[in-house]
Amino acid sequence: MLLAVDVGNTKIKAAVFKDDTLSDRFVFNAVEAVKAIENIFAKHSKITAAILSSVGKASPELLYTIEKNVPVTIVDHQTPVPFKTSYATPHTLGVDRIVLSAGAVLNHPAQNRLVIDAGTCITYDFIDDKDNYYGGAISPGIRLRYEALHNFTAKLPLLTREMPVSVTGNSTVESIHSGVVNALIFEIQGFIDYYENKYDNLAVILTGGDAEFLAVRFKNTIFANSNFLLESLNQLYLYTQND
């Protein structure tokens, strides 16, 4: 069994896999991390290896807790991946984007792929049907948009995400929800339309913490999977073992 750990900007997510099957999933914050990992190993004694990705720097205590139980693979820019990159600054490419792109290639062979990760930031990554990674885009996520409106104005309230009733908000609160959520939906749809118009046989994968919230507003041809990064970590581990 494999333990996959994703250290994100706001939360740490982990999952236990048996081959290609996700058997258990966990979400916790950095303060809880060491105890949470210890509990995972206590619950799943058959874990034999781990793989970890981090958008920042995983704490030494977290790494030690994993390493004292099983060997751990830490994904970085030297990790073998199933695609070629023409990204101008590969050393600055986020590890999460590397993992998601690898998962897209391994899950959707011989297709053009657009991966949209709706988390703290919204990232867009495009890999063509010949497994060439080109890059994409980065924009603020839902929470950052709400916080920016509150923090950089004098009177706008801080709201939490809510699906707008209409595009045309008839109150300040409804206008904020429309401006944040509808604008993001239009943005995402615009990126999808651009790639669909330019490339045939396009697989669109929507993932991240806000994926399920947003997915209801898109066509069902989109693959919405909030666990895609964890699943991609598992598949990348298997790929590196067979490489």
Q: What are the structural domains of the chain?
A: 2-74 (3.30.420.40), 84-234 (3.30.420.40)
pLDDT, position 5: 96
Q: Which residues of 44-69 are buried (b: 16+ CB within 10 A; e: fewer)?
A: eeebebbbbbbbeebeeebbebbeeb
pLDDT value of residue 162: 95
For residue 114, what are the β-bridge partners?
Answer: 126, 204
Give helix 60-67 / helix 33-43 axis angle, nearest 10°: 10
List, in sequence order, every beta strand (DSSP E) within the chain: 2-7, 12-18, 21-28, 49-54, 72-74, 84-85, 112-118, 121-127, 132-140, 202-207, 223-224
96 flagged as catalytic:
yes
Structure-token pair, residue 43: 């619950």
List the one residue out of 96, 77, 46, 141 whose CA is nearest residue 233.
96
pLDDT tens per residue, the chain (243 residues)? Answer: 999 999 988 889 999 999 889 999 999 988 899 999 999 999 999 999 999 999 877 789 999 999 999 999 999 999 999 999 989 999 999 999 999 999 999 999 999 999 999 999 999 999 999 999 999 999 999 999 999 999 999 999 999 999 999 999 999 999 999 999 999 999 999 999 999 999 999 999 999 999 999 998 887 778 999 999 999 999 999 999 876
Encode 7-42: b = buried (16+ Cβ within 10 Å), e = exposed.
bbeeebbbbbbeeeeeeeebebebeebbebbeebbe
Q: For residue 62, which of 29, 18, 17, 97 has the smallest C-alpha distance?
A: 29
pLDDT (0 to 100) of residue 243: 67
Query: How far is Cα 233 from Cα 52, in angstroms, rounded to an integer?
Result: 8
* Catalytic site residue from 6, 96, 117, 131: 96
- pLDDT score for 28: 92
> Which pLDDT score is estimated for 104?
98
The Cα–Cα gap between 122 and 103 comes to 17
